[in-house]
Amino acid sequence: MLFVLLCCASLLVGARQLSWAQLLSGSSEAWLTLTASRLPRLAALVLTGVGLSVCGVILQQIVRNKFVEPATSGGLDAAKLGILISLTLMPGVGAVGKMLFALTFCFAASVLYVSIIRRIQFKNTVLVPVVGLMYGSVLSAIAEFYAYRNNILQNMQGWLLGDFSRIVQGNYEIIYLILPIVALTYLYAQRFSVLGMGEGMATSLGLNYGATAALGLMLVAVTVSATVITVGAIPFVGLVVPNLVAMHYGENLRRTLPIVALCGATLLLACDIAGRLLIYPFEVPIGLTAGGAGGLLFLALLIWKNK
Amino acid sequence: MMRLPTRPAIWPPLLILLALAATFVFWSSGFDFDYVIPKRLARLAAIVTGGVCVAFSSILFQTIAGNRILTPAVMGYEAVYLLLQALLILAMGTQALVVVSQINNFFLSIAFMLAYSWAIHRWLLRDRKNNVYFLLLLGLVLSMVIGTFTQFVQLRISPGEFSILQGYSYTSFNRAQPMQLLYSGLLVAAACVWAWKTLPVLDVLSLGRDQATSLGVSYRRYVQFYLSLIALLVAVSTSLLGPTAFMGIFVANITYALAGSVRHRITLPLGCAIAIAIFLLAQLLVEHVFNYKTTVSILVNLVCGAYFLALMVRKQGRA
């Protein structure tokens, strides 16, 4: 039922965009240039939504906590720090080089975070994201410290915020990295499910725990750094979507992963369209709309779950 | 745990504080009494007022909330203040600074924050059975959401107005005007005297609702009283210094550790001393070690954030 509804919503969103494009093309005859900027935007939106929500699923399985995602585990902040350092150390390096830096930092930070969480064995589920948020704010304080010394604080605040308006043909293709990631995740879905049962259980079921967890963190790091470089940071998507899906469809990853991906894309599309319509001739960056909507949903989720 | 305090030793902290303040005022000033020293004295006054605000508001809030991890800053008070400022500027443009005088603005923010603190108390702090970390997560996410609304408002205003607003969102000791300093100082002093007079009640409140009521304290009335006091203090400190984020937690917990007592007669003054000392140290570092290549808020975030992280990890390890 909900699935059909969401499908309709996503179709509607797509249709609206299509009709908009046609309208503009009819009046200004700039069909080609329009699709060159509008279609990439659509692709980037869908891919980012899919990637971020799948990321959330993987992280939640590894940490075994429902409230974890790149924004609440320091991953986003670490990726920002990585880009920052690559900007100052090697200003000439291209998107791929920046991506590698962001990837390394994000991966290292995630590994550290997971090992902290596993070492302490929290009994309290809410503490895990709290520690992650604090960890992230310490990382971003380091980034700010560094940026302030190099006078690039303002520049940093520019790409700190998720924004799809910069997407045009030629500078967003790195986002397609998300496609193989999602395929790989789907392939390994069963293993990630087993991972979520804990180390002992997973090992006794014949799973190489360390390797699978490392693979999962690697997938997350690739996705996060690709989105941060092309779009910017978008918080809470990876947290809200998997939770909402799990409430309705349970935890069988092989079955729910496509739904999660679809819902993530739908949420981002909706947020993006809202952002474009809110102050019409201008745009609200998606980091704000998605952050606001996702944050409110997260709050509702928290209160609902705690009741 | 409750070691009976003898006469608290007030001299060591006071001496350290005086030494720090003297260093701050006189270090490489060339004893220039016309310009450098008055400027520094103004900053010192801002630091003292702000430090007192942070310490009092955090410790009072923790007493009422009954735990040592929540502070007004993490529960979104500062975010609400910034949102209000952004809305004011959006509604009235830069004239807001002229039409709404600083004093009116100040009272408006206090009213707004009172409403917020009342709502928070009504919904979240009502029963202590609520999990602390749950409240903390709620507060952090709430601050982030309010922050995005503020950013959204910032999108709607012109660049000139934006730069004014941007100035609000960093901790700094330079923005306070002498008149504002005077008013804030008086207000804070009045609030502190008021709180000081009811010290025994505070100690009783820290026992929890049931105990306090059975000991003859009108729980509800006093909690409302202290919440309004906290709203006032946070409004003062945020308008004077900007957001201080995790500073409150840091100050309060160090205070508890050093005081070895939970009596507010000891913790409140000690907390003030610690807060002022930390601000002074940070400002000294920024001025003389980092040569203005960093800001107080970045330093405070870095150190206090790391401390907070360590505190939670360790606490959970013990429990």
**Per residue, what are the HEC states of B43-91?**
HHHHHHHHHHHHHHHHHHHHHHHCCCCCCCCCCCHHHHHHHHHHHHHHH
- Token pair for residue B204? 């009783």
Per residue in B82-95, pLDDT tens? 888 888 877 776 66
How far, in Å, CA of B159 to CA of B176, rounded? 22
What residues have CB less than 8 Å from A2, skipping those under 6 apart? A248
A253-278 vs A2-28: helix axis angle to the nearest 10? Answer: 40
How far, in Å, CA of B242 to CA of B85, rounded? 12
What is the three-class DSSP state of A57? helix
In the prediction, which pLDDT does B251 show? 86
Is the Cβ pair B302, A142 closer than 8 Å? yes
Per residue in A231-272, pLDDT tens? 878 888 888 888 888 888 877 777 888 888 888 888 887 787
pLDDT band at residue A11 under the 50/70/90 scheme: low
- HSE of B10, CA atoms in CB hemisphere, 13 A: 7
In the prediction, which pLDDT does B71 show? 81
Per residue in A79-132, pLDDT tens? 888 888 887 887 777 777 788 888 888 888 888 888 888 777 666 677 788 788
DSSP structure class, residue A161? B
Contacts of B301 in chain A (CB under 8 A): 137-138, 141, 144
How far, in Å, CA of B77 to CA of A286, rounded? 25
Per residue in A22-59, pLDDT tens? 555 555 545 555 566 666 777 788 888 888 888 888 88
In this complex, is the C-beta atom of A238 within 8 Å of any C-beta atom belonging to chain B?
no
Query: Residue B70 pLDDT more than 50?
Result: yes
What is the three-class DSSP state of A123? coil
| β-bridge mates for residue B176, sequence order | none
Contacts of A161 in chain B (CB under 8 A): 151
Give percent of chain B above pLDDT 70: 82
What's the average model confidence in pLDDT over B102-107? 73
How far, in Å, CA of B131 to CA of A306, rounded? 9
| Residue among A68, A130, A135 with most chain B CBs within 10 A, to mutate | A130
Residue count (chain B): 319
Whether B234 and B72 have beta carbons less than 8 Å apart is answered as yes
Whether A128 and B133 have beta carbons less than 8 Å apart is answered as no
Query: Residue B1 pLDDT more than 50?
Result: no
Is the Cβ pair B148, A292 closer than 8 Å? yes
pLDDT band at residue A9 under the 50/70/90 scheme: low
In the prediction, which pLDDT does B319 show? 44
CA distance A186 to chain B (A): 30
The residue ranking higher by pLDDT, B285 or B131, is B285
Whether B167 and B243 have beta carbons less than 8 Å apart is answered as no
Per residue in B37-53, pLDDT tens? 777 788 888 888 888 98
The residue ranking higher by pLDDT, B293 or B277, is B277
Contacts of A287 in chain B (CB under 8 A): 148
Contacts of A77 in chain B (CB under 8 A): none
Whether B63 and B262 have beta carbons less than 8 Å apart is answered as no
In the prediction, which pLDDT does A215 show? 87
- Token pair for residue B255? 């205070």
pLDDT band at residue B2 under the 50/70/90 scheme: very low
How far, in Å, CA of B244 to CA of B275, rounded? 11
- Burial-class residue A103 by CB neighbours within 10 Å (0-12, 13-18, 19+): buried
Per residue in A266-299, pLDDT tens? 888 778 777 777 766 667 777 788 888 888 888 8
- Confidence check on the interface: ipTM exceeds 0.95, yes or no: no
Name residue, tokens 């408006």. Answer: B108
Q: CA angle, corner A201, sides to A197 and A204, nearest 5?
A: 150
Per residue in B169-221, pLDDT tens? 666 666 667 777 888 888 888 888 888 888 888 888 887 777 878 887 777 78
pLDDT band at residue A185 under the 50/70/90 scheme: confident
